[in-house]
């Protein structure tokens, strides 16, 4: 059995997220496993670096899978590119160390949240940004972002946390950049809880709009209460950007 490392790029709009569920074909993992199993004539299970929610996109989702095949990586990559749907792209494929596992080996992930913050129309990127007009105080957002960085219990920034499971994560960097009409939030950390990137984005937007102070995010962290944090920003602005190993 050889072990492979695949990087996928996808538009999440048509899918119920990464993780397969029931007998639906509307998940990325489900579509990929069906295709790999057919191409390689064996049952293939694909492990993603983590779930992406319904509607969330990926610039680089890393996937590992084992298979018994004589195909070269070039041949298999070409077949994937040919048969994957147009909203799922195979960026790269390489053979990996036998112990490599896309989820268990991941060291760090980066998510990008794209906000359209302009009165000008956003026509061509409209499916990939969250439209949030009105003045945004980016300095206040950066101040709040700095206070969120570090090793904390992020229970307040998680939907449906399971008791007994640790919510301690290290958020290594958060950047807030303006690119013309767009405000781009970039989150890098060693792991992200369910909805965490979207709640961080919603909370930073509330700070930017002046509904919260930058200092208040420290209280939110301490309180560990989801209802005290900001709204969950919509899925279609979020991209799993990169996974590092």
Query: What amino acid positions are annotated as catalytic residues?
Result: 53
Q: Choose between 1 and 123: whose C-beta lies nearer to its own copies.
A: 123
Binding positions for its own copies, 123-142, rule CB under 8 A? 123-124, 126, 128
Phi/psi of residue 48, each to 5°? -90, 165
Evaluate whether 228 touches 220 at the Cβ level (below 8 Å).
Answer: yes
Residue 9 interacts with its own copies (CB under 8 A): yes or no: yes
Report the residue from 87, 137, 143, 218 that binds its own copies according to the rule CB under 8 A: 87
Q: How far is 41 from 21, CA to CA, in rounded Å?
A: 22
Q: Choose between 189 and 237: whose C-beta lies nearer to its own copies.
A: 237
Please, what sign has the CA dihedral across residues 97, 94, 3, 70?
negative
Q: How far is 242 from 69, CA to CA, in rounded Å?
A: 28
Structure tokens at 216: 């208040």
Q: Which residues contact 177 (CB under 8 A, 6 or more apart)?
A: 183, 184, 186
Structure tokens at 146: 């700095």
CB of 169 to its own copies, least distance (A): 28
Residue 13 interacts with its own copies (CB under 8 A): yes or no: no
Instruction: For tokens 């700070």, name the residue.
Output: 207
Structure tokens at 26: 């509307």
Q: Choose between 57 and 142: whose C-beta lies nearer to its own copies.
A: 57
Q: Looking at 80-88, 97-105, 190-198, 228-236, which segment touches its own copies (CB under 8 A)?
A: 80-88
Residue 18 interacts with its own copies (CB under 8 A): yes or no: no
Q: Choose between 121 and 134: whose C-beta lies nearer to its own copies.
A: 121
Report the residue from 47, 54, 73, 91 that binds its own copies according to the rule CB under 8 A: 91
CB of 89 to its own copies, least distance (A): 2
Instruction: For tokens 């489900």, name the residue.
Output: 30
- In the chain, beta strands by DSSP E: 2-10, 46-48, 57-67, 88-95, 108-116, 130-131, 150-153, 168-179, 182-189, 238-244
Binding positions for its own copies, 152-191, rule CB under 8 A? none
Residue 71 interacts with its own copies (CB under 8 A): yes or no: no
Report the residue from 5, 6, 11, 15 that binds its own copies according to the rule CB under 8 A: 11
Burial (CB < 10 A; 0-12, 13-18, 19+), residue 121, is exposed
CB of 184 to its own copies, least distance (A): 14
Q: Looking at 32-40, 86-94, 141-149, 188-196, which segment touches its own copies (CB under 8 A)?
A: 86-94
Q: Choose between 35 and 148: whose C-beta lies nearer to its own copies.
A: 35
Beta bridge partners of 150: 171
CB atoms within 10 A of CB 50: 18
Binding residues for its own copies, rule: CB under 8 A, are 9-11, 57, 78, 81, 84, 86-91, 119-124, 126, 128
């Amino acid at each position: 059995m050889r072990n492979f490392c695949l990087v996928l790029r996808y538009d999440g709009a048509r899918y119920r997220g990464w993780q397969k569920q029931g007998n639906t074909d509307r998940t990325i993992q489900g579509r990929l496993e069906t295709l790999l199993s057919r191409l390689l004539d064996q049952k293939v299970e694909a492990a993603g670096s983590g779930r992406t929610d319904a509607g969330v996109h990926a610039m680089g989702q890393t996937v590992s899978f084992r298979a018994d095949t004589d195909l070269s990586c070039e041949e298999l990559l070409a077949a994937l590119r040919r048969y994957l749907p147009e909203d799922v792209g195979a960026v790269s494929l390489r053979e990996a160390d036998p112990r490599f596992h896309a989820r268990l080996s991941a060291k760090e992930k980066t998510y990008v949240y794209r906000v359209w913050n302009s009165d000008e129309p956003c026509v061509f990127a409209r499916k990939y940004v969250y439209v949030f007009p009105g003045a945004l105080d980016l300095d206040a957002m950066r101040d709040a972002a700095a206070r969120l960085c570090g090793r904390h219990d992020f229970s307040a920034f998680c939907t449906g946390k399971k008791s007994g499971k640790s919510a301690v994560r290290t958020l290594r960097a958060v950047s807030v950049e303006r690119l013309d009409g767009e405000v781009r939030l970039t989150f890098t950390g060693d792991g992200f809880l369910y909805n965490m990137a979207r709640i961080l984005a919603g909370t930073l937007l509330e700070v930017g709009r002046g509904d919260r102070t930058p200092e208040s995010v420290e209280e939110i962290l301490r309180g560990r209460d989801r209802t005290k944090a900001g709204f969950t920003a919509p899925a279609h602005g979020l991209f799993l950007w990169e996974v590092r190993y």
